[in-house]
Amino acid sequence: MNNPFVVWKCPQCVADRMTCDIVGFSDEGFQDGELRAFLSVFCRGCRKPIGAAITIGGQHMPAIHELRLVETRHAHPVNLTDAISVHKTWPSIPEPYASESLPKKVRKSLLDAEHTLINGIPRVARGEFRIVLDVATKEILADNADAVTGKKPNSLYERIKFLAENSLLTPSLAEWADGIRSITNPDLHDCEDVLPREAEEIANFTRLFLIYVFELPAEVAEAKAEADRKKAEARDD
């Protein structure tokens, strides 16, 4: 293909520094010294289309000239990455998310796991979500240190069992957590392939576990605090 191209992170396959061929250009005119435009590109890796809203500074007239030649099929295979500023893509590039209501260490480990999953490394991602569970169960134990007695467990298996025996996890949540542990256990000892859907399943189980254990209680506490505040204001009136 003789079209100009850019080297971007592809929002379709989420691969870094992918060459994307420019196949369409819509000129929206100049504003504040910049050309505003829309691009249609195809990633050479996944062969999927991407739309982008861009601007190009007026100092990059050769790049603008090349883009205007795209529709005439007389453009040249030149790299325009440095000339183009991207403001939005369709689809958008996925961003890792973790609730602010999660404990700090749990939230950090979840963001790491989500980032790995987004970047298309399913075997590593599945192991990262196991780490999230490990950190989360340690957090539950630490938050309830005064309520439990006896030797504190070291392994994830022992910790899940210990938390259940001390009523810090419901039987269903303990079974859920142990399921995640057992499924991801082989990832610690071999390099067998993991399908993206298999990693996504563990991710979903882990997210739901965190919702039940941390996020919902935090939302209930916040709602109660807000209700108490309103009651206090009503009494003052």
pLDDT for 35-93, tens place per residue?
999 999 999 999 999 999 999 998 999 898 989 888 777 778 999 999 999 999 999 98
Q: pLDDT tens-digit profile of 131-147?
A: 999 999 999 999 988 87
Q: Is 150 left (phi over 0), alpha (psi -120 to 50) or beta?
A: left
Share in percent of the chain as helix, strand, coil (round to 5): 50, 20, 30
- Cα distances from 23 to residues 3, 10, 29, 82, 160, in angstroms, run 7, 15, 19, 18, 54
Asked whether the beta carbons of 139 and 216 are under 8 A apart, the reply is no
- CB atoms under 10 Å from CB of 225, counted, come to 10
Which residue type, as a one-letter code, is found at position 3? Answer: N
Helices 196-210 and 171-184, interaxial angle, to 10°?
150
Asked whether the beta carbons of 206 and 117 are under 8 A apart, the reply is no
Residue 19 pLDDT > 90: yes
* Tokens matching residue 170: 């419901």
Q: How confident is the model at residue 161 (pLDDT cuts 50, 70, 90)?
A: very high
Q: pLDDT tens-digit profile of 81-131?
A: 999 999 999 999 888 999 999 999 999 999 999 999 988 888 899 999 999
Number of alpha helices (DSSP H) and beta strands (DSSP E) in the chain? 7, 5
Q: Which of 67, 78, 85, 57 is nearest to 5 (CA)?
A: 78
pTM (two decimals): 0.73
CA distance from start to end of the chain: 74
Q: Supply the DSSP symbol for 186.
A: G
Residue for token pair 């970047």: 119
Asked whether the beta carbons of 130 and 203 are under 8 A apart, the reply is no
